[in-house]
Amino acid sequence: MLDVLQRPVDRLDPLDRQIIGCLTRDARATYAVIGDEVGLSAPAVKRRVDRLVADGVIRGFTALVDPEVLGWTTEAYVEVFWEGTPSPLELRRSLGEVPEVVGAWSVTGSADALVHILAADIPHLEEAIERLRQQPNVHQTRSEVVLSRLIDRARP
Amino acid sequence: MLDVLQRPVDRLDPLDRQIIGCLTRDARATYAVIGDEVGLSAPAVKRRVDRLVADGVIRGFTALVDPEVLGWTTEAYVEVFWEGTPSPLELRRSLGEVPEVVGAWSVTGSADALVHILAADIPHLEEAIERLRQQPNVHQTRSEVVLSRLIDRARP
DNA sequence: AGTGAAAGACTGTGGTG
DNA sequence: CACCACAGTCTTTCACT
């Protein structure tokens, strides 16, 4: 009863967590291998994975690609300052207009949003930030260009 | 000649890029399906994927998990200010001591590093930042707690 | 480097406790 | 909810182009 109020986390048992652990380490692991590791048969693992995907616990599977190889060597975090008090929806729509924006979060502190930008090089980055500044209501930006990637841990 | 000077990107032909595209969209896609999409047989796709993994172009495959479901609902970006001029190696060692740190980058601007922290809740976050501040040479921190995730695009 | 064929492994469904 | 069994599919190797 009252399933809508039950947070999804409550539906994850230790087996689910172990399976998620296996898949975050190697998304191409076979159900049989995962089953060996968690002590389940392959069909049982498949049913759980299907359920986790259907429930939105697992949003998808992706390959981790070395960004340098793709030629996107330039990265920056940009604090965005807004005129007035924008709704998350407005922010999402406005920031989403710039394709180089790969991540964005509304944050506490003086800035309204923190935006993660990937670009091919410095001129490309500069141009992307310029387009960001031209979005309606964007008042000011403060950029920190990434010099080197120190840590990039997969999910816990 | 002079292969060491050749950037890895130069070794990627359009077929490789298409295959990488398929795998970033769905890391569990079968070789046969990828082959259909890019116009290659399954064995040919497998050989290319194996080579991309061996060369480090593809660093691995992972599941995208909804962080809220795991109970890590609290997220912050923390600017770290250092005493003196630390090497990237020192930074990596020092920041890596705090397990809640899931990402870290050395950056331009007044801060020395930008650190991404995931925690279960605000007390947990506070404790993690406290441990960060106690690392040798960490002089000051400035935190921005994430209120909401606006955009989280998969790779470009 | 790619193809096609073949053996073995894996997936995915249906039946059962 | 998990297991077993089985039919269909996929992976992976090998010989050939």
Domain positions in chain A: 4-54, 67-145
pLDDT for B85: 86
Q: Which of A70-84, B7-21, B23-37, B39-53 has the lowest mean pLDDT?
A: B7-21
Protein-contacted positions of strand C (CB under 7 Å): 1-5, 9-14
What pLDDT is attached to residue A6?
A: 42
Q: Dump pLDDT digits (tens) for A34-56.
A: 999 999 999 999 999 999 999 99
- Confidence at residue B1, expressed as pLDDT on a 0 to 100 scale: 41
**From the CA of B3, how many Å to the C1' of C7?**
39
pLDDT at position B3, please? Answer: 39
Indicate yes or no: CB of A146 within 8 angstroms of CB of B105. Answer: yes
Q: Cα dihedral sign for B66, B99, A30, A18?
A: negative
User: Does A4-54 match A67-145 in CATH topology?
Assistant: no
A and B: number of Cβ contacts within 8 A? 219
Of the candidates A119, A99, A103, the residue with the CA atom closest to the CA atom of residue B152: A103
Structurally, at CATH architecture level, domain A4-54 sits in Orthogonal Bundle (1.10)
Optimal mutation site among A105, A146, A152, interface B, most CBs of chain B within 10 A: A105
The per-residue pLDDT for B154 is 57
B120 vs A71: which has the higher pLDDT: B120
- Asked if B150 lies within 8 A of A28 by C-beta distance, the reply is no
User: What's residue A12's pLDDT?
Assistant: 83
The CATH number for A67-145, chosen from 3.40.50.620, 3.30.70.920, 3.40.630.30, 3.40.50.11890, is: 3.30.70.920
Q: How far is CA B118 from CA A100, B30, B122, B135, B145, in A?
A: 24, 33, 10, 18, 10
Reported as type and span, the H/E element at residue B120 is none
| Nearest-CA distance B93 → chain A (Å) | 9
- Judged against a pLDDT cut of 60, whether residue A2 lies above it is answered with no
| Cβ pair B24:A109 closer than 8 A | no
